Structure 1
Amino acid sequence: MTKTIKLVASLFITLACTSYSFGQKEFYNNNKFKQLDEELPTPNVYRTGAGAPGPEYWQQQADYVIEATIDEDKKRLTGSETVTYYNNSPEVLTYLWIQLDQNMRATDSDTYKIRQNHIGEKTNINQLAAIDGFPEYDGGHKIQKVTDADGNALKYTINKTMMRIDLPKELKKGETFTFNIDWYYNINDRLLMGGRGGYETFAEDGNTIFTITQWFPRMAVYDDFNGWQNKQFLGNGEFALTFGDYDVKITVPSDHIVASTGELQNPKDVLTSEQIDLFEKAKTSETPVVIVSQKEATKKEKSKATDTKTWHYKADNVRDFAFGSSRKFIWDAMGVDINGKTVMAMSYYPKEANPLYGQYSTEAVAHTLEVYSKYTIDYPYPVAISVEASNGMEYPMICFNYGRPEKDGTYSPRIKYGMISVIIHEVGHNFFPMIVNSDERQWTWMDEGLNTFCQYLAEQEWEDGYPSRRGPAENIVNYMKGEQNNIVPIMTNSESLKQFGNNAYGKPATALNILRETIMGRELFDYAFKEYAQRWAFKHPKPADFYRTMEDASAVDLDWFWRGWFFTTEPVDISIKEVTVEELDTQNPKVEVAKRKAERDAQPKDITTIHNEEAKLVTRVDERPELKDFYNSYDPLDADLEDYENYKKYKAGLNEADKAWLAKKHFVYQVDFENVGGLPMPIIIELQYADGSSDKKYIPAEIWRKDDKVVSKVFVCEKEVTQFVLDPNRETADIDTDNNYFPRKPEVSRFQLYKSGANQPRTYDSGRLNPMQKAKKNKK
């Protein structure tokens, strides 16, 4: 469609604006730019409207002294702990809540009862056993006794994965209470039963790697927001925990190496003098130093010690404690300079993980500490450890990861980059939530999403073209355009999430990347994100604290963004609905007559005229020329004297700037945009010109404030536009790119012709040669 506009008095084109009534209740309630004040908690003396801890912010503390022993043959852990609990709250407490996470594996666990099951065409005994939680496995914390500091029995009640201890007297503000718990539990076969921790026994040599997690009764969080966070542990929602100091002694077979949260207190009791010297050398080495070699570990695999050693670790101001133990461990380490402080980056792994772990693991740990420290806070702890345990899970200063090559030492790019990514991710969890201590039992995205975003930054700083799985906007499109009944908002409780990985990891990470790259810009985003990390380091932030801090530190109103990306499941789908060419009326008779005639001549002929021409029809007037008069040669589009007089008057009314503008050729386009998906986003449009050049325009999302369905924008260009392209760099997660072009591009589909006959067999990754193996084969 082409319309004509006139330039009058000056060159400013006045565009009509539609008037809207903001008093309509329906518009207010559905307005996508409505502020979040009604959804967010009211600021108070504990948490301010700026998103920072308030002047009276408080949090509890729990210190632990623990002694634990692993029985390798029985696969059992026995422990005794003394807990000192500090009531820093203004409330009086009459009971304490303790988390017994191992009870998730008890035979009567709700986790198994509420898990949906389906009968498939094929199954096996293990799958059938898993339905009821492996009935032959006696799981769960076995509480032996609970006493006060003087050994007097305390009344306690176990409710599934939670235990309440009734206090003998009120615990007032500023007071402490010390109590003891003795317990044991049977360690689960992690590869068979799954789980964040457990044991793995290697069939080839009969040795075991223990990854000990959620292993001791732990204090639940009591805070200003929830009171006691005592939601049951069902398996997905992870852990809300209290900071404290730990003094832990771990007794294991004497030929085991123990990797643990904290710093080793008795190296002379458990390490050789050579290992101690190598550890000291590693502190200043620029590359990893091997402290326990593969040769040493392989030798120990051939016989099992019958005596034990006790490893003594201490950790200050941490929210949890975990460790790994095995005689199979190879151990390497290197020092990392974090703003003048040396942090030991270390890896523990079986020979089955070499050469991948020896080459990459500790380097990935060091890289993670450096990158995360740049974007959040300086890493505060003395060590950071990666343990290869064929899984992925995080704890303060230590994490368990995967990454085993083929037996011939080769590996696929999927394994290599998957291993590096999981190490970055799990080490990164030291920052979220081990330091910025969000409530994982309630809001998984606050640790997984923020951490996955930082993981993406670290991956992209590892090497050019790193194949990041999550972070780029394009990678979340398939999830966001999926069936709405299989998607829930990010702001959903951890145990109620659908598509856990996409919801808690992928979508929030993508949202933050879009904020950084497209909406806020790197400078504003990085400052605000770092401010959030610094404000809430070693504290307990909530979603509102994050939202408010990001806005407070950047002066960018993001309520529309949080509402759309975090509180709804609407996708991004902006369409170029229509483009109208607004042609300038120069009022020059010569110019305008030529244009009008060209437009008329370009109109298609009617079918009768076409057929008459084909039949070479001779009209009566053609046969009798004397019938022609003035009107047979008159063209109503021709200009007359009055047109030229009007043009002179028009030019006289223009100033010099108007005349200079008129001297150039201009193209004016009105582009109508439709918000098909519902989620408002910035409009990023590329104008591709006839001369092969292009120009990208950025229109903030606020253009949708008064109409979130259709908006229009006029573009005045000195060159003719041949193609309009929305979101040319795929930075907004638009789920339908077909409507991003005007004129529309034809859809192109590809097909292959196969030989007729039986269906082609399916292929799988397993059993196929990886690229390294193919390269070796090709050399032969």
Structure 2
Amino acid sequence: MKRILIGLLILSPMFASAQGEWNQKFEQLGTQLPTANNYRNASGAPGKDYWQQRADYVIDAELNDENQSLTGRETITYFNNSPDQLSYLWLQLDQNMRSKASDTPLITENVVTKAMSGRDIQKISREYDFDGGFKVGEVSDVSGRPLKYIINKTMMRVDLPKPLASGEQVSFNVAWSYNIQDRMPLGGRSGYEYFPKDGNYLYTIAQWFPRMAVYDDVEGWQHKQFLGRGEFALEFGNYKVKLTVPADFVVGSTGELQNASQVLTKAQLEKLAQARKTFDKPVIIVSEEEARKAEKNKSSAKKTWEYHASDVRDFAFAASRKFIWDAQAVQLDTKTPLAMSYYPKEGNPLWEKESTKAVANTLRTYSKHTVEYPYPVAISVHSASIGMEYPMICFNFGRPAEDGSYTDAVKWGMIGVIIHEVGHNFFPMIINSDERQWSWMDEGLDTFVQSLTEKEHYPTKPLKRGEARLIVDYMKGDKKGIRPIMTNSEQILQFGDNAYGKPAAALSILRETIMGPELFDYAFKTYSERWAFKRPSPADFFRTMEDASAVDLDWFWKGWFYTTDHVDLSLSKVKWYKMDIPENEVENKAKKSKKAKISSGESSQSLMDFGDEAETFTFTDTDPAAVSERFAEFMNVTDDKSIMKANADRNFYELTFENKGGLVMPIIIEWTYEDGSVERQYLPAEIWKKNENVVTKVFAKDKKVTNIVIDPNKETADVATENNVFPRMENNSRFDLFQSGGE
């Protein structure tokens, strides 16, 4: 019979030696994060000397529907709020990604397959005749005197006549033009869609003007070349924009329309006014009947639409004579923005039914979890094969069949992309992270709040991302095809899972399992409020989440964001003990037990079960001489007899857990007892602090246990749940039975 002292039984896991390499998973992140300073303090908040630059734009542009081109002229006023003197400025020329001298096709890998489509071959041969890229015609000061500049692919440096001192501002002009690409064969975030049946174009225009690059305390000039994936680092500013288009076009844009009486009919003006007071459903401002009429007549006259926007980091617009336009007001805590949609007849009836409603739902949920939406409008524009975001406006896919029918997949896909792209108003259009550097800070955070929005307003919609179970297949994949979340945008492999899915699942686990919604929501909202209209870094997010919650999460950031480890916690061994007490020691209590069968679980092919009877241990009286001095006071009041009596009939279960995936996580245990009752216990991730590979813990239970399941609701993204259950049977048949209620 195996006899174990109860003191050693309880304390032995503390002295277990580590198996395998010590990876310091609980080492504090302070050694890896940037040192706090006066610009960004150690709490994760902006410091007392935080600064950021500002750029204001006055733009006049014309969209030519005859040859699908755009011509513009802008005056940029740049405010140097930094403590530094600047001798030159950098501007982004994103359309140069489409120039014939672009690096993008040169760094794009491709292979020959057994079946090659025309589009596949065209991407390799590049035989299409498209002259993309900006044609910069002028760079001058406000007096018209030329300024020296140099274009380096997608970046332009403007050399200043004299250095721009801290606190000063400078204004200068840029004139440019470019050819708008057909997005259908060429792709891209901006461009046009052509409708051959009626011979019309729908333009979704972005990255359409030379824009100031960011200069900040983290990177200096953020002028990484735009290769097509890494999105945009931009400065906040005010915009005054005039857009000249064919007279029958409808224009949806960042900002507020300034000359509605000049570009809208009296009836449309009345409908727009009605929409501002209508909260229950959209009001049709431009009807499908009007759009169909415009498609046929095609005016040769022109109109200029003027939009102004304050405190935005970018500006985009959509234009077409095909647009139907609807709008409704959304009541937030203190503001009532307009939710609006622009879509061609090809989007109906789905878009009229669902788009603006999805915009409104997004504003409500995101405002609750981040900051109240500050802008006057939020717009969803429909065009095929696109999902892209800009301040107050986004472009979204989701098109019914020609007869107007649509599947649930089309409907849910459309609603999902609208929520996601409208949600980008918050990340990064308001909480202005550096997308060129860190895709997860906008895509991952946005995808997480998107999942909250979908669960709140569309409970029957299948979630694609934002829960632990949805990232399992990616996490258990070949590590050669996986990069850490903390990877630059252009180097990420499996972009959707890495930048969207994994960080969203991580935040869901953090909220639901580790911190709890109350602590998480407060910290997440604190981060959003601290960094609204500012430029946070990853360290600011990590530090704020801890600062506002008093939860040490360095182990979590380190594992989920800095490694490619996965979760695979195995319940590798279970031993059942009872106290071995002579019958005369405790009246009417325990009877002496026979030696039990012990299930080691070392062979996955063997039956793992509790056995017929418990293993026993011998109770011995506490020996004060064997106890360290610091425990002496406790031992003076120890009543061995009462302890023995209280535990005589208890079952002691010694559970051994192995961390096979490398990612430490809390251990969630579900106990099923002989009487059918169920209990859940939660062990914080810190249980792994002394040994990151194997931990053993003993639990005292009044009732006999018949089944144990680890992570019963699949909330930790464990990739191998077959080793989470005890007893285990061959082929996991018993596990399947126990887990059936966990979905």
User: Is the TM value for this pair above 0.5?
Assistant: yes
Cα distance change on mapping 1:190 and 1:134 into 2, 3 Å: farther
Q: What is aligned with 2:614?
A: none
Q: What is aligned with 1:687?
A: 671
Q: In structure 1, how many angstroms separate the alpha carbons of the residues matched to 2:352 and 2:725?
A: 49
Question: Which of 189, 211, 214 is residue 207 of structure 2 equivalent to?
Answer: 214
Question: Which of 504, 509, 530 is residue 509 of structure 1 equivalent to?
Answer: 504
Q: CA deviation at 1:19?
A: 4.1
Q: In structure 1, how many angstroms separate the alpha carbons of the residues matched to 2:170 and 2:553?
A: 44
Q: In structure 1, how many angstroms separate the alpha carbons of the residues matched to 2:289 and 2:439?
A: 41
SS in 2 for 1:204: coil
What letter is aligned with 1:732? T
Q: Does 1:70 align with 2:54?
A: no
Question: Which of 731, 737, 747 is residue 731 of structure 2 equivalent to?
Answer: 747
Q: In structure 2, how many angstroms separate the alpha carbons of the residues matched to 1:598 and 1:451?
A: 57
Q: What is aligned with 2:38?
A: 45
C-alpha contact 2:140 2:147 (8 A) present in aligned 1: yes
Q: Does 1:709 align with 2:693?
A: yes
Q: What is aligned with 1:632?
A: none
Question: Which of 432, 437, 461 is residue 456 of structure 2 equivalent to?
Answer: 461
Q: What is aligned with 1:345?
A: 339
Q: In structure 2, how many angstroms separate the alpha carbons of the residues matched to 1:14 and 1:513?
A: 34
Q: CA deviation at 1:403?
A: 1.3
Question: Which of 7, 12, 17 is residue 16 of structure 1 equivalent to?
Answer: 12
Q: CA deviation at 1:357?
A: 0.7
What letter is aligned with 1:366? A
Cα distance change on mapping 1:21 and 1:576 into 2, 3 Å: closer
Q: In structure 2, how many angstroms separate the alpha carbons of the residues matched to 1:38 and 1:554?
A: 21
Q: In structure 2, how many angstroms separate the alpha carbons of the residues matched to 1:160 and 1:384?
A: 33
Q: CA deviation at 1:722?
A: 1.3
Q: Does 1:287 align with 2:285?
A: no
TM-score (norm 2): 0.90
Deviation per CA, 1:132-186: give whole Å up to 9, x if none: 5555100001101110110000110000000000001010011111110100000
Q: Does 1:471 align with 2:466?
A: yes
Q: CA deviation at 1:586?
A: 2.4
SS in 2 for 1:185: strand
Cα distance change on mapping 1:387 and 1:589 into 2, 3 Å: same
Q: In structure 1, how many angstroms separate the alpha carbons of the residues matched to 2:513 and 2:398?
A: 34
Question: Which of 168, 181, 185 is residue 192 of structure 1 equivalent to?
Answer: 185
Q: CA deviation at 1:17?
A: 4.8
Cα distance change on mapping 1:710 and 1:325 into 2, 3 Å: same
TM-score (norm 1): 0.86
Q: In structure 2, how many angstroms separate the alpha carbons of the residues matched to 1:134 and 1:223?
A: 41
SS in 1 for 2:331: strand
Question: Which of 349, 374, 382 is residue 376 of structure 2 equivalent to?
Answer: 382
- Unaligned stretches of 5+ in structure 1? 601-642, 647-652, 750-780
What letter is aligned with 1:178? S
Cα distance change on mapping 1:662 and 1:135 into 2, 3 Å: closer
Q: In structure 1, how many angstroms separate the alpha carbons of the residues matched to 2:138 and 2:9?
A: 83
Cα distance change on mapping 1:217 and 1:134 into 2, 3 Å: farther
C-alpha contact 2:381 2:395 (8 A) present in aligned 1: yes
Q: What is aligned with 2:54?
A: 61
Q: What is aligned with 2:529?
A: 534
Deviation per CA, 1:298-349: give whole Å up to 9, x if none: 1111121101100000000100000000011000000111213210000000
SS in 2 for 1:302: helix
Q: What is aligned with 1:326?
A: 320
Q: In structure 1, how many angstroms separate the alpha carbons of the residues matched to 2:227 and 2:70?
A: 22
Cα distance change on mapping 1:599 and 1:145 into 2, 3 Å: closer
Q: What is aligned with 2:330?
A: 336
SS in 2 for 1:181: strand
SS in 2 for 1:703: helix
Q: What is aligned with 2:425?
A: 430
Q: In structure 1, how many angstroms separate the alpha carbons of the residues matched to 2:73 and 2:406?
A: 43
Q: In structure 2, how many angstroms separate the alpha carbons of the residues matched to 1:538 and 1:96?
A: 22
C-alpha RMSD over aligned residues: 2.3
C-alpha contact 1:51 1:544 (8 A) present in aligned 2: yes
C-alpha contact 1:64 1:246 (8 A) present in aligned 2: yes
Cα distance change on mapping 1:594 and 1:489 into 2, 3 Å: same
Deviation per CA, 1:544-601: give whole Å up to 9, x if none: 000000001101000000000000000000000100112211222699996556869x
Q: In structure 2, how many angstroms separate the alpha carbons of the residues matched to 1:121 and 1:163?
A: 42
C-alpha contact 1:5 1:583 (8 A) present in aligned 2: no
SS in 1 for 2:576: strand
C-alpha contact 1:5 1:582 (8 A) present in aligned 2: no
Cα distance change on mapping 1:97 and 1:734 into 2, 3 Å: same
Q: In structure 2, how many angstroms separate the alpha carbons of the residues matched to 1:675 and 1:597?
A: 33
Deviation per CA, 1:676-719: give whole Å up to 9, x if none: 00000000011111222211110000000010000011111111
Equivalent residue runs for 1:237-636 within 5 Å:
237-285=230-278, 286-390=280-384, 391-588=386-583, 595-596=592-593
Please say which structure displays the higher CA radius of gyration. Answer: 1
Cα distance change on mapping 1:133 and 1:239 into 2, 3 Å: farther
C-alpha contact 1:491 1:566 (8 A) present in aligned 2: yes
Cα distance change on mapping 1:189 and 1:658 into 2, 3 Å: same
Question: Which of 723, 734, 754 is residue 707 of structure 2 equivalent to?
Answer: 723
Q: In structure 1, how many angstroms separate the alpha carbons of the residues matched to 2:126 and 2:510?
A: 43
C-alpha contact 1:738 1:745 (8 A) present in aligned 2: no
Cα distance change on mapping 1:541 and 1:728 into 2, 3 Å: same
Cα distance change on mapping 1:153 and 1:135 into 2, 3 Å: farther
Q: What is aligned with 1:160?
A: 153
Q: In structure 1, how many angstroms separate the alpha carbons of the residues matched to 2:584 and 2:645?
A: 19
Q: In structure 2, how many angstroms separate the alpha carbons of the residues matched to 1:289 and 1:581?
A: 68
Q: What is aligned with 1:176?
A: 169
Q: CA deviation at 1:131?
A: 2.4
Q: In structure 1, how many angstroms separate the alpha carbons of the residues matched to 2:155 and 2:358?
A: 37
Cα distance change on mapping 1:143 and 1:4 into 2, 3 Å: same
Cα distance change on mapping 1:746 and 1:462 into 2, 3 Å: farther
C-alpha contact 1:240 1:438 (8 A) present in aligned 2: yes
Q: Does 1:122 align with 2:115?
A: yes
- Unaligned stretches of 5+ in structure 2? 598-617, 622-637, 734-743
Deviation per CA, 1:18-43: give whole Å up to 9, x if none: 44899x9x84xx21000011110000
Q: For structure 1, which segment, 675-684 or 401-410, has the greater mean C-alpha deviation from structure 2 after superposition? A: 401-410
Cα distance change on mapping 1:122 and 1:659 into 2, 3 Å: closer
Q: In structure 1, how many angstroms separate the alpha carbons of the residues matched to 2:548 and 2:595?
A: 58
Q: What is aligned with 1:773?
A: none
Q: In structure 2, how many angstroms separate the alpha carbons of the residues matched to 1:543 and 1:365?
A: 28
C-alpha contact 1:572 1:732 (8 A) present in aligned 2: yes
Q: For structure 1, which segment, 400-409 or 70-79, has the greater mean C-alpha deviation from structure 2 after superposition? A: 400-409
% identical aligned pairs:
58
Q: In structure 2, how many angstroms separate the alpha carbons of the residues matched to 1:675 and 1:19?
A: 18
Cα distance change on mapping 1:714 and 1:171 into 2, 3 Å: same
C-alpha contact 2:140 2:146 (8 A) present in aligned 1: yes
C-alpha contact 1:5 1:584 (8 A) present in aligned 2: no
Q: In structure 2, how many angstroms separate the alpha carbons of the residues matched to 1:325 and 1:201?
A: 13
SS in 2 for 1:16: helix
Q: CA deviation at 1:69?
A: 0.5
